[in-house]
Amino acid sequence: MPPSVLAVPRLIHTTGPQVDWRTVFIIEYFGPLLIHPLIWLFRGFIFQNPHSPAPFPRPSVSAGFSFGLIMMHFMKRELETLYVHRFSQATMPVRNIFKNSFHYWVLAGLNIALFTYTPSEDSPTSHPAPVWTLWVGCAMFAVGEAGNLWAHLTLRDMRSEGGAERTEPKTGLFGLLRVTCPNYTMEALAWCGIWLVNRSLSTGLFVAVAVVQMGIWAKKKEKRYRSELGDKYRRKRFAMIPGIW
């Protein structure tokens, strides 16, 4: 799971009203969970052409699949925030929530929903999708989400609640993939699966931004491991994508 877009790990802010990271994540992930159902339910009102006598088209299969996968993804995020992730005592200024929420509320929320659920002829989801793209995309999503959860559970077991200790993760996917952040690897795989299902440029934009940002975080995390753990750390050749990044 990528952290908050502008998150600075373990940095404690001391200016202005503060909010804990768990609350930040809950607010960020709530955006798509609110926006996607609203646009899905009121798509007839939002996209209907009042001058067209043609009946409003039903949602396509790929649009329906996309809606379901995105809702499952962010519900998983919220549940992990509540029951899996362990946070240190670091906080952030309340005003930063608005900047941090842009990635999820706008790029993952409005951006994807408006261009995926529209019945416009220009929307890929308005055209029949090859069956293989739906099932391969769903398989990628399932593997990515399961792997992401596995990595998060591994990280959870390495830190006490409220603690800030840092050790090298070596078990699970961290040992299998031999990358610094396999949780980001699996996150990227899941979102590539969603993109394959809806074939939307708006989803492609979000995936591109998210993958680049996660890659930057992974590089920084590798650097922190080397700096803080020294000779005890087994250096990785790749931070996020085996053989590539």
Handedness of CA 41, 46, 50, 54 (dihedral sign): negative
DSSP 8-state code for residue 238? B
Q: CA-CA distance, 51 to 127, in Å (whole number)? A: 23
* 92, 96, 99, 104: CA torsion to nearest 10: 50
Considering the entire predicted model, what is its pTM? 0.87
Helix (H, G, I), strand (E, B) or coil at 163: coil
How confident is the model at residue 222, as a pLDDT? 94
Query: Average pLDDT of the chain?
Result: 86
How confident is the model at residue 10, as a pLDDT? 43
Low-confidence ranges of the chain (pLDDT < 70): 1-15, 50-56, 89, 121-122, 125, 160-165
Q: CA-CA distance, 60 to 56, in Å (whole number)? A: 12
How confident is the model at residue 7, as a pLDDT? 43
Q: What are the DSSP calls for 127-149, one per residue?
A: SPPPHHHHHHHHHHHHHHHHHHH
| Element containing residue 19 per DSSP (H, E) | strand 18-20
* pLDDT tens for each residue of 173-213: 998 999 999 999 999 999 999 999 999 999 999 999 999 99
How confident is the model at residue 55, as a pLDDT? 64
How confident is the model at residue 91, as a pLDDT? 81
Domains of the chain: residue spans and CATH = 18-232 (1.20.120)
- Output phi, psi for 93, to 5 deg: -65, 140
Hey, what are 216's tokens? Answer: 């930057």
How confident is the model at residue 45, as a pLDDT? 85
Return the number of other C-beta atoms located less than 10 Å from residue 236's C-beta. 20
